[in-house]
Structure 1
Amino acid sequence: MVPTFGDPLSAFGLGDLVRDGAAGTSVGQLSPRLADHRGLIDLPALAVLFDHIGGFPFSRAQAGASTLQSRLAMSLLAGVAVTERLTGRADIRIDDGSYGVTSVDLRTAGGDLVMTGTARSVRVGRGKSDVDMDAVVAPDGPDDGYLPDPIDPALSGQEIVDAIAAGVLDPGPIIRLLGGGLEDGRFIVRTAEWMGNHFGTMHGGLIAAIVGQGISFAAQAHTAPGVGYQVTDMSVGFYRSPELGGEVVVDVEPVKVGRRIGSFDATMRTRDGLLLSKASADVIFR
């Protein structure tokens, strides 16, 4: 059974925001509920922390202003343990009054750099909520959720994806958390109220996580038996916010898939075809 959460921060174990001049930090406590169908933490599970800290220092740099992020560019540098405690740091690299770019690094408790990239933001005229994100405290440690059973290494990637779609294989805790499933080769998510941010729109990190998970399944479908994969790079643009309580559809197209690396393009749309987000990603196979 999937636990009930009231917001993206509690669902993804985020908190401990601290601003230091033109920089900001936040903690993300990973746990089994963020693992995928392989029982692994991949790039999609880190997107919410990346987005959350990525926009923070820019949003606080101008009193009374509200900001939105328009694009994330993320690179995963190493595998991350399911129970790792990460610290994200964002530094403002440019702020012209209307637009800004922050660099973002995620590090393990031991200081190892595992993810890096940039977040582009824009100041808008929307009102701010009185929700105090600075007061949110990250969990002391991981939850005691489950990990899926190991997948038979004799199965091809397409067989794995087909078995998940048919309900034979576990889709993974993060898919259950997101309310997602596979339908005719597409990743479908029923959005929920807890996915909203303080504007009342969907948290950008959730959009990135959903699109990234669709890419993950597409990459899995291209693996030979016994071959693993990792989503290493993703750039995602936010065009419109999905309706909370509606459905979104992620379609993924392979650009080029080789033995060692594959490139994919993905779109997130409403059921009636309205474009919400678009992403490009690279995946390594090994």
Structure 2
Amino acid sequence: MSVEGSAIVATDPTARAAEVAGFPNLGPEDRFGIRQTGHGPDRISVEQWLPTGAVGELPVGWLGPLADFVTGRAVQSALVSDVGIRTLSLHMQIGARGLHRGRRVLASGEVIEIGSRSVLAGGRITDEMGSLVAQVTGRFVVVPGVVRPSSAAGSELTVPESDSLAVQLGADVVAREAGRSRFALRPAEWMANPYGIVHGGIPVALVDLALTDAATAEAGPVRTLGLDVTFHRPAPLNDVPLEVEAVVERVGARVVVANAVVYQWTPHQPMVTAACTMLRITQD
């Protein structure tokens, strides 16, 4: 781990890691079956219970809250208690087998570099046999103020409610045509992070849902290979729907490239943007 911003680094990493491990789950973490299982001064361990009734591969959007959680908690575990963090970007590189239905996946996260204003962390997600599911990196900006996480409304639901990612998010199709899809959801209380804004994992799940839908309509079945998500401004919890528009940019013989924008009022003021590469699945 490279350390630059020593003023924000926990003086007792072991004690700080134990303190953060005791933070209660938030609504998105409980809804997506996520919990921390271990901690140390430089690494945390997490598991996620996945839907078991779905057939075939699951959208990697199911891993959105996990990617944010495993990297974010690793960062929290390394910093002093009187600062907070917000997600700046998440990158997911998916393993060759994709994400298949099953009982759970396992994740570990660690801090890679602490700067004066931001922190970079990495995570590795595997199945129970140890096979790679995804590599994750997340960058977080350090913000002032003590934030004590508390359980959000609806966080008592500790298992996924549906095998459908759209149903799980409460997202509805607004428009769909070949190469373009638009979904909308109304931010619910269970989606909040400790700052009272939408948890960073929710837009990740939402963009993968829309990107996959748009690409499938244009090119047939696909599987996400890589997803880059950038957070431009926070998404508040209010009555304005959160919308995502996904557009296919290029269809090749094997690969589809697509982009997405998440916004509330206008796409000209994006809250989140995403770029995705997907593999076309050959039908036998």
TM-score, L = length of structure 1: 0.78
Q: Give the distance between the partners of 1:103 and 1:6, measured in 2 at CA.
A: 21
Identity over aligned residues, as a percent? 21
Instruction: Give the structure 2 partner of residue 19 of structure 1.
Output: 39
> Of 30, 34, 37, which residue of structure 2 is paired with 1:10?
30
Residues 183 and 244 in structure 2, CA contact (< 8 A), matched pair in contact too: yes
Instruction: Give the structure 2 partner of residue 159 of structure 1.
Output: none
Q: Give the distance between the partners of 1:90 and 1:146, measured in 2 at CA.
A: 27
| 2:67 matches 1:50 | yes
Residues 87 and 109 in structure 1, CA contact (< 8 A), matched pair in contact too: yes
Superposed CA deviations along residues 56-79 of structure 1, whole A, max 9, x for unmatched, are 111121222211120001011122
Instruction: Give the structure 1 partner of residue 169 of structure 2.
Output: 178
Q: Give the distance between the partners of 1:137 and 1:14, measured in 2 at CA.
A: 12
Name the count of aligned residue pairs. 246
Equivalent AA in structure 1 for residue 166 of structure 2: I
Instruction: Give the structure 2 partner of residue 113 of structure 1.
Output: 132
After superposition, residues 154-193 of structure 1 pair within 5 angstroms as: 173-185=164-176, 186-193=182-189
Instruction: Give the structure 1 partner of residue 19 of structure 2.
Output: none
> Of 64, 69, 72, which residue of structure 1 is paired with 2:87?
69
| 2:211 matches 1:215 | yes
Equivalent AA in structure 2 for residue 259 of structure 1: A
Residues 31 and 157 in structure 2, CA contact (< 8 A), matched pair in contact too: no
Q: Equivalent residue of 1:94, what SS? A: strand
Residues 162 and 168 in structure 2, CA contact (< 8 A), matched pair in contact too: no
> Of 121, 136, 141, which residue of structure 2 is paired with 1:122?
141
Q: Equivalent residue of 1:45, what SS? A: helix
Instruction: Give the structure 2 partner of residue 283 of structure 1.
Output: 278
Q: Give the distance between the partners of 1:6 and 1:89, measured in 2 at CA.
A: 19
Instruction: Give the structure 1 partner of residue 223 of structure 2.
Output: 230
TM-score, L = length of structure 2: 0.79
**How many Å apart are 1:270 and its aligned residue?**
1.0
Q: Give the distance between the partners of 1:204 and 1:263, measured in 2 at CA.
A: 23
Q: Give the distance between the partners of 1:81 and 1:270, measured in 2 at CA.
A: 32
Residues 28 and 138 in structure 1, CA contact (< 8 A), matched pair in contact too: no
Residues 53 and 88 in structure 1, CA contact (< 8 A), matched pair in contact too: yes
Instruction: Call closer, same or farther: CA 1:220–1:239 in 2, change over 3 Å.
Output: same
**How many Å apart are 1:122 and its aligned residue?**
1.5
**How many Å apart are 1:243 and its aligned residue?**
2.4
**How many Å apart are 1:84 and its aligned residue?**
3.2
Instruction: Call closer, same or farther: CA 1:59–1:6 in 2, change over 3 Å.
Output: closer
More moved, 22-31 vs 89-98: 89-98
Instruction: Give the structure 2 partner of residue 169 of structure 1.
Output: none
Superposed CA deviations along residues 221-264 of structure 1, whole A, max 9, x for unmatched, are 1134xxx2101110001112222243111112222111210101
Q: Give the distance between the partners of 1:79 and 1:56, measured in 2 at CA.
A: 24
Two-structure CA RMSD over aligned residues (Å): 2.6
Residues 180 and 189 in structure 1, CA contact (< 8 A), matched pair in contact too: yes
Q: Equivalent residue of 1:275, what SS? A: coil
| 2:233 matches 1:240 | yes
Instruction: Call closer, same or farther: CA 1:259–1:66 in 2, change over 3 Å.
Output: same
**How many Å apart are 1:213 and its aligned residue?**
0.9
Residues 75 and 232 in structure 1, CA contact (< 8 A), matched pair in contact too: yes
